[in-house]
Structure 1
């Protein structure tokens, strides 16, 4: 995976998926995390971000995905666990070609990624925000709700 640690700082390259069903978007988190993210993961060396996303979906969700157009590029600066992080994230539209569990309020899928337990759920975009579902990185909350032509580039500092 493309990760570089330098002292108490980390750089990483991530790819994420915007997957829709019945007005809901699929999100996931490590069970131990208080925040949610779009499904995806870190890009490996010599792998495109779209290839990484397809691989991560297959590994974590157990099904193939059709990776669509690139929607967002987010340069994300944040702190997690006392470590400063700089993340470049490429976020694509994606489609699950075979049925994937859907329920409006329950966790619909669980998996294990190395030593991390993951859980997935479908949510309406209006569920994001203060006092509700905490989706990271923050700009995704507004970006998901908008439809735009081309790729949107955002620099976000937490």
Structure 2
């Protein structure tokens, strides 16, 4: 069971995301006709954040990763349908264990949420594009991807 609480007034979500950079490109996910986001998902009850991240990469793109270090903690506020959502997300740097996914371009995968299948596109995007016209959710994380700090950073993203 995901750590995802919903009531009539709000939604609370505990999520993790993996930042996978290779050859000057970052692997991002993109639902059809939406902005890019960091690959990851909701933490399940009694599952560590690292276990979740490994599981999500296996489920969504059928590959194994190793988790390197915690880069950032985000407090993110955004609309979830008609309700506000308060999300806590841990962002880790990760690397591939093997190279059984395309290492360039775009490929297809999927995720599930609320018993619905969500088709996703996974795209290798040049880091340079993050400075320009490519919008990545959450935007407040992008500077720390482009210029990582030695310490773990905390950011707040308010979209409501």
What TM-score does the superposition give when structure 2 sets the normalisation length? Answer: 0.88
Point out where structure 2 has 5 or more consecutive residues left out of the alignment.
none
Q: Is the 8 A contact 1:34 1:134 kept in 2?
A: no
Q: Is the 8 A contact 1:112 1:118 kept in 2?
A: yes
Q: Give the root-mean-square deviation of aligned CA atoms.
A: 1.6
Aligned counterparts, 1:114-129, within 5 A: 114=112, 115-128=117-130
CA deviation map 1:24-59 (0-9, x unaligned): 11100222x511111111100001111100000011
Instruction: Supply the distance in 1 between the matched residues of 2:17 and 2:80 (Cα, whole angstroms).
Output: 19
**Number of matched residues?**
153
Instruction: Supply the distance in 2 between the matched residues of 1:140 and 1:147 (Cα, whole angstroms).
Output: 10
Q: Which residue of 1 aligns with 2:10?
A: 9
Q: Which residue of 2 aligns with 1:74?
A: 74
Equivalent position SS for 2:139: coil
Q: Is the 8 A contact 1:125 1:141 kept in 2?
A: no
Q: Which residue of 2 aligns with 1:112?
A: 110
Instruction: Supply the distance in 1 between the matched residues of 2:118 and 2:63 (Cα, whole angstroms).
Output: 19
Aligned counterparts, 1:49-64, within 5 A: 49-64=49-64
Instruction: Supply the distance in 2 between the matched residues of 1:29 and 1:83 (Cα, whole angstroms).
Output: 23
Point out where structure 1 has 5 or more consecutive residues left out of the alignment.
none
What TM-score does the superposition give when structure 1 sets the normalisation length? Answer: 0.89
Q: Which has the higher strand share?
A: 2
